[in-house]
Every structure is written in C-alpha cells, then in structure tokens.
Structure 1
Amino acid sequence: MASNISICGICDLRHLSNPSTHWCQDCDEAICSECKQQHNLLKATRGHTTIPIADYKKLPAFVTDIKQYCDVHNEKYQNYCQKHECPICYKCIQDHAKCTESILDLETVIKHAKTSQIFQDLIQSVSDLHSNITQMTKARENNLAKLADQCKSAVKEIREFRVKVNHHLDVVEKGLITKLQDAESKCSQQIKEAIKSLNEVESEISNCDDILQGIKQHASELQVYLATREIERQFSDKENRLTSLMENNHFHDITVSLDIDTLVEYILSDVKVFGTVSIETIPSNYKLINRKSKQAQIITTDFKSFDDIKLNQINKFDSGSRHVTGCAFLCDGRMVFTEYEGRHLYITKKNGDLDFKIPTKRKKSFAVTVMDATTVAVSSGKPDANEKACIQIINIKLREVIKTMHTESWCYGVVFVDDKLVFCGNEPNGIYEIDLKTNTQSVMSRTVPLSTWSNISFLDKNKFYITNTRTSAVTCYDNKFNVIWTYMDDMNMQSIRGFCVDTIGNVFVASEKCKNVTIISHDGKRAKQILDKTDGLDAPFAVQYDRFTNRLLVANEKGMTYLFGMQ
C-alpha cells in the first residue's frame, strides 16, 4: 500500500486523534474525518473516488499492495507499456524508448477495466465453474441415491429368493449381504470423497467470487486491471484441480448389481454362495468448458459422418463491406469483416446488424484472425505502390489500430497460434512467423507452394492447412510443414478464396468462379459440394467456421452474408 491505512495521508499526521475513515483510490491515501471536507471538494473538482476504509480493508493484500506511484521515480503512473505489461510514469518513458508503439495512455487503458470483456469473462468463468461443480455434485448425489436404491433392490431380491431355500443357507446369505454392504460402503466412500473434493473446490471458488465482487465494488480501475492476472492464475489452479479429479476418474458412475446363481433351485445342498456382488464403473463424458471459450456448461459433442453433414440457413444480412476478403467470429458472438480497398474493418452484431466500423491505417485489408476477446490481426495482401506490406493489430474495444508490423513479403492468409502470427507470404514466397513476445519475424518454410490469395488455417498448433489458387489445391501439413495430404479439384474449386476448418478437420472451401462451397473430408480423401448459387452464393470470398456453435459464415464479395448451421 502507498501509505499506512490507519494514518491520514493528506493532513500528514496533524490530526493524530482522528483515525482514517475513508480511502481515496486516486490519491492512494487514507483520509481522516478532519480532511474529509477538503477532499470532498477535491473529489468534486477532479473526480476522485473515495470508499469507506472498512470496505477497503476487505480487499485482499495482492490488490491493496498495487501502488499508484512508480517505485523508482516516486511519480504517479500516467502510461502503460503493452510490451512489458506494466504501468510507467513519465520519467520511465526514456527507459522504454524501444517500446514507443506499445506505450498507451494509462487512463485510456484502465478506463473501462471493471466493465472490460476480460474482467467480465473472469466473473463469468468463476460463475461457470461454480455451475459446473453444482451439476457434478448433483450428479454424484444422484449416483449415491441410485446406488442405495440398487442395493435395496438387491437385498429385496435376496430376501424373496431366500424363503425358497432351506435354513442351512443362513450363513451363506449373511456372507453375501455382508459383501454387498461392503461394496456399498466402498462405493459410497468413493462418491463421498468426490463430493467432498467438489465442495472444497466450490468453497474456494465462492471465495474467489466474493473477492471479485469486492474488487469490482471497491478496488480502483488500475487495481482491477493489474489484479486480474493474479485472480486468473488462482482461478486456473482451481480449474486444473477439478480437471485433475476428472482425469483420475473421480466422477465416473459406480453401480452395484447382483447375480443370483440359478442352480440354487436345484442343488440346495451343494450351494456354497448365494450370489455374487459386482461393481461397475461407467465413465462419464464430462468436459470442463467455461464461457470464456463460449461454452458455459458441461457438454459432449457427437460428430456427424461426412455423408450426413448438411447445412441449413440461419440468417442472411449485409456485412456493410463492399469487397469482403476475410471474416471471423469474435469471442462474444459478433462478426468482423475486412474491406480489401476500403480502409475499414466492419463489426456486426450477433444478428448481423452493423455495430460499427473501424478505420485502418492501410488501404488494403485481406485476412483477419482473432487474437483475444478484444484484439484482431489484419493482413494487407498486396500493398499499394506507396505503402508497405504489413499486419495491423486492431483493438475492437478502442476501435483503433494499436500496432503496425511491416512484413518482408506480401502477407495474405494469417492465423494466430500460440502467441504467434503465422502468415502466407508472396514475393518472396514462404510461410512466416511473427513472435509477438519478442517482435521478431522468421521464415518457417520456403518449400510450401503458394500463390497470390493463398490462405492459411489450422486445427491445432500441430496441423496447418494452406490453399493454392493457381493449382486449385488445399494441402494439410504438420507443424514442420511436411505434407499430410493434398486435395485438388480444378473443376469445382476454381479461384479458391476463403476457406476454414471445422472441429475435426473437415475443410470448407469457397470458390469465387464456381460460386460454391466445397467440403473436404478430414483425411483429404473425399469431397462434396455443400453450398451453391441456390443458397445465395454469388461470389463467395470469405468463410469462417465457429467451432463452438458449429456454424458456418459465408460472405460474398459485395457484402451479402449467410450464416448456416449444422442440420
């Protein structure tokens, strides 16, 4: 903390008889009752925010320990360095001379920290995990009740059969019931241990939720902004613990069944056992997914066979762009579209209505890839004669280009993978990589056949897909860019433009000339036309698949766009 929380930082100890009653988030100081009137005037004129000291003390130490002033220069923070992810004062700027493009005004960065997407995602993630735990706990409790019912039913079956046999089976009966009870006890203990673990994680998550609410109400924007990463780390630990329990089969269903020996009816005198008790563990299909990745529930996914894949139109709208070459789904369900020669990026709402458009610093914008909840990267394609090829980093929330990175070659298709931008370069040809942590560019491959308009997509960081317009081909590569398979079709895939990959590796390819979309099987061995002119396709340029909602976005060059869902 910047000062002793019990000593007024304004009166400089002059009012020793008056303890501090409030905390100013902007001054980072405690305020006594004698100074409160003076500070209220400051608050009215300069917008300072004060909160009761009792509420401030409720915040965790890692939040209140965040200072408003620079440790080195004792000056108030005024800027933020994106490259080093830290606030800096005006004197620190000379130490960040190489970070000029990464330095932003601190007030702009933290202005909406409490309402930012990342903070809202964090709150939602805590809520989602709490909901997941509730569902798991309920399932375990249901399993416990089901287990008890099974055991009761088994005991009833034993008793009903028992009346038919001689009293000499009393000992055998007693032994079997004991085994059954032991089995129930063992299974019940396993389930109770699972419930206990869930309750422990739920308690920790509830505490995390309380902290988040406290921070939201009482912490400063800077404290919220800088504390978010620590809370994410703590939350990730809880999530990893729950995932570990799942991977160790703690949530598999356990059943108890009884098999009566039918020979008992015929050879009572030879029977040594009354039946057998068996325990079966039925694997659950739980997948822990939070809403940050757009799935706020425990789900399983059933994939259709290639022959059964069909699409139905969900929506039709005008994107606003008049030369669409790229599109993408944002994390919140909105959609983004490039305009190749229009100097704008178009953002639409979930229903397709235009939300706003963002001016770009280059005339041309070819492909777009989503980096996080508020940031996208846009490639330039072939630049104008007076411009250089580049990739622009655009902040959707700020509605502006925050960084421009020049590239060695014309950059067409681009994807964001593992904190790196990977793009198709033309003249000189090659697959290039930009490490955003070090701001360094390197060549990943010079042997991949490329052309103008070559696009790139990926299934994961170990499998990439690249198009070649000249040969009407789509090729699947490993992470060393060794060929896994290639599919070529110069009849149905002429003038390939956009393409995308679904959850299991099926590829959707848009053909401008054929006015269709072709789907290629995940192994590259089969293909079929899945959309054509009858579905509204005129000159399809951009396609994107939402792997969380199983929807396909297809945009014609002039802006008319269609949203399809899996039947």
Structure 2
Amino acid sequence: MTTATKSCGVCELRHITKPSIVWCTECDDGLCTECKEHHSLAMSSRSHSVIAFTDYRKLPADKLKFTQSCTKHDKKYQIYCQKHEIPCCSKCIMESHKGCRDIVELDDAIHNVKTSNAMCEIEETLVEVAKNLQKIRKLQQEKLTTFKESRQEIEKEIKKTRIKINNHLDKLQKDLMKQLYAIEEKENSKICQLLSSLEKKEKEIAECQRNIIDIKQHATDLQVFLSMKKIEEDVYTKNKFLQSLEEGKNFKQTSLSYKINTSIQNIMSNISFGEVQIEA
C-alpha cells in the first residue's frame, strides 16, 4: 500500500512533489489537482471512487493499513472466498482456492456492505458494549465514593474507640495512683507512729539513765537497793518493748512494689484495634 502522505503518488513517481487533494480508493493512492483531472478522464480510472484527502486522513490508522491489492501477487482483489473469509486475486484462486466452492465476485460481496445486517449487528453490539462499559464505569466510580465514605466512617470509629480506651486507661491510672498514694500514706502513718513511740522510749531510757547516775551519786546504799526493784521493772518493760519490735515486722526492710495486670500486657502485645475487610 502506498504511504498515506500529503504528496501526490503519481507525481512522486516523476520525482515531483505536489500535495494530494483526493484519495483514490481503487488505486489506493493520493492525487494532486492535475492528476485528479487526468484520473477522472482516463478510460481505466474514470469509474474509480475518490474521496477528499482530508476525509481519508480521518480514517483510523489501523484501517489505513488494509491494502486493496494482493501483496503476494501485486494484483487487484477480484474474488472473495467465503470459506476462508479472505479477498483473493486471480492468482490466489489458482494457487490456493481451486477446491473452494463458496467463491463470489468481490463486488458482490461488498455490495451494500455499509448497510448490511452484519454491519448493523456490529454497530448494535458496539452500542450495547458502550452502554455496559458506562454502567460498569459508573459502578466503579460509585464504589470509589463508597470506599471513601466507608473509610471515613471506620476512621471515626477507630478514633472513637481510641478515645474510649484512653479514657478507660486514664481512669485505671487514676485509681491505681490513688491506691498507691493511699498505701504510702497508710505505711507512712504506721512508721511515724512507731518513730513517735521510739522517741518516747528513748527519752524514758535517757531519763532512767540519768536517775541511776543521780541515785548512785547522792542516794545511800539502802535507797539504791530499795529503788533497784523499780528500776529493774522499768528496764524489763522497755526491753520487752524492744523485743516485740524485733520479733515483729518493724525491723524488716519493706518497699512499695507494682505488678502489672496481664490484661494490660495483652493490650500492648496481642490485642489490636480490629481488622479491615472487604465485604461483598
């Protein structure tokens, strides 16, 4: 097939460049003004159909690739083999289609092809396909909108859940901190009471020690002897108090400790907000 350029095909053979104004569908070539006139007068081409070159260029590129002549034998197509559904030249018939019975003239095969039932069916099918494509495209666009709206709703729900969890964790923390301070205050109160008792006992012992010193310095032996019983009782009482402290929990070193709830640990390791899925 001659290349669909703007130059006249006949003139190009004469090494002359002139723009094509028409396209001969029979010759499959472009023609300038002068060649068009000669083409319309010549016996061999006066019956050829021509179209404006601008209209020819409007044809789809893949349709322009179809040649109207046999590329193998360089002859015009004249016959159409209905069995193989291909156009043939005279040599094609002799070489490849001798046994074919469904052979008709190409002119008969293409007669009224533009208004044929086959063309109408093609056009109707294309209309139906176009409608279905539009329907599918609309559906997909609606799905995009639905996905966006669903995503926004899920996002709100996730944030709402996060706020609920935060509020619950804040309450748990507040309650635990309250318990922590309460326990500390309680233990501090016990320690302070014990310190007060110890301080009192220390003063009593110090006073007892001073009394003994005074008695030994200023009292007679009889007075010392008589007061020793009372002093022994006081010392015994204070020593018994000390022993009770040693036997109790007061001398054991203690501190505050904290054990995390396993459910909280699961939140940090195993529990997720949920799972996003596609629902049909």
Contact kept? 1:5, 1:29, Cα under 8 Å: no
1:97 counterpart = 2:98:
yes
> Relative contact order, CA 8 A, sep 6+: which one is greater?
1
Structure 2 unmatched ranges of 5 or more = 171-262
Relative distance call for 1:141 and 1:169 in structure 2 (3 A) is: farther
TM-fit CA distance, 1:35: 1.9
Contact kept? 1:24, 1:51, Cα under 8 Å: yes
Distance in 2 (alpha carbons) for counterparts of 1:151 and 1:11: 67
Contact kept? 1:78, 1:105, Cα under 8 Å: yes
Counterpart of 1:53 in structure 2 is 53
Contact kept? 1:81, 1:102, Cα under 8 Å: yes
Alpha-carbon deviations, 1:307-356, whole Å to 9, x = none?
Answer: xxxxxxxxxxxxxxxxxxxxxxxxxxxxxxxxxxxxxxxxxxxxxxxxxx
Relative distance call for 1:81 and 1:152 in structure 2 (3 A) is: closer
Contact kept? 1:23, 1:31, Cα under 8 Å: yes
Counterpart of 1:81 in structure 2 is 81
Counterpart of 1:148 in structure 2 is 148
Identity %: 36
Q: What TM-score results when the alignment is normalised by the length of structure 2?
A: 0.50
Relative distance call for 1:164 and 1:77 in structure 2 (3 A) is: closer
Contact kept? 1:3, 1:30, Cα under 8 Å: no
Alpha-carbon deviations, 1:167-212, whole Å to 9, x = none?
Answer: 3648xxxxxxxxxxxxxxxxxxxxxxxxxxxxxxxxxxxxxxxxxx
For 1:64, give the aligned amino acid: L
Distance in 1 (alpha carbons) for counterparts of 2:169 and 2:141: 35
Distance in 2 (alpha carbons) for counterparts of 1:34 and 1:67: 25
Relative distance call for 1:162 and 1:85 in structure 2 (3 A) is: closer
Counterpart of 2:277 in structure 1 is 279
Alignment of 1:148-187 (within 5 A): 148-157=148-157, 167=167, 169=169
TM-fit CA distance, 1:127: 4.2
1:30 counterpart = 2:46:
no
TM-fit CA distance, 1:80: 1.0
Alignment of 1:262-411 (within 5 A): 272=267, 275-282=273-280
Alignment of 1:429-440 (within 5 A): none
Distance in 1 (alpha carbons) for counterparts of 2:148 and 2:48: 61
Contact kept? 2:10, 2:31, Cα under 8 Å: yes
Distance in 2 (alpha carbons) for counterparts of 1:162 and 1:56: 67
Counterpart of 1:115 in structure 2 is 115
Counterpart of 2:135 in structure 1 is 135
Distance in 2 (alpha carbons) for counterparts of 1:9 and 1:163: 80
Contact kept? 1:2, 1:65, Cα under 8 Å: no
Alpha-carbon deviations, 1:102-157, whole Å to 9, x = none?
Answer: 11010111123333343444444444444333322322232232233233334444
Q: Larger Cα Rg: Structure 1 or Structure 2? A: 2
Counterpart of 1:437 in structure 2 is none
Contact kept? 1:7, 1:13, Cα under 8 Å: no
Counterpart of 2:65 in structure 1 is 65
Contact kept? 2:11, 2:18, Cα under 8 Å: no
Contact kept? 2:4, 2:30, Cα under 8 Å: yes
Contact kept? 2:39, 2:46, Cα under 8 Å: no
Relative distance call for 1:72 and 1:164 in structure 2 (3 A) is: closer
Q: For 1:23, what is the secondary structure of its paired residue?
A: strand
Distance in 1 (alpha carbons) for counterparts of 2:57 and 2:51: 10
Alignment of 1:160-559 (within 5 A): 167=167, 169=169, 272=267, 275-282=273-280
For 2:66, give the aligned amino acid: I
Distance in 2 (alpha carbons) for counterparts of 1:63 and 1:156: 55
- Coordinate RMSD, CA, aligned: 3.9
TM-fit CA distance, 1:24: 0.7
Counterpart of 2:203 in structure 1 is none
Relative distance call for 1:71 and 1:137 in structure 2 (3 A) is: closer
Contact kept? 2:80, 2:105, Cα under 8 Å: yes
For 2:143, give the aligned amino acid: N
Q: For 2:75, what is the secondary structure of its paired residue?
A: coil
Distance in 1 (alpha carbons) for counterparts of 2:61 and 2:54: 14
Distance in 1 (alpha carbons) for counterparts of 2:159 and 2:9: 80
TM-fit CA distance, 1:277: 2.9
Distance in 2 (alpha carbons) for counterparts of 1:12 and 1:275: 77
Q: For 2:26, what is the secondary structure of its paired residue?
A: coil
TM-fit CA distance, 1:23: 0.9
Contact kept? 1:6, 1:20, Cα under 8 Å: yes
Q: What TM-score results when the alignment is normalised by the length of structure 1?
A: 0.27
For 1:36, give the aligned amino acid: K
Contact kept? 2:79, 2:88, Cα under 8 Å: yes
Alpha-carbon deviations, 1:386-428, whole Å to 9, x = none?
Answer: xxxxxxxxxxxxxxxxxxxxxxxxxxxxxxxxxxxxxxxxxxx
TM-fit CA distance, 1:53: 2.8
Relative distance call for 1:92 and 1:281 in structure 2 (3 A) is: same
Contact kept? 1:18, 1:34, Cα under 8 Å: no
Contact kept? 1:2, 1:68, Cα under 8 Å: no
For 1:69, give the aligned amino acid: S
TM-fit CA distance, 1:72: 5.0
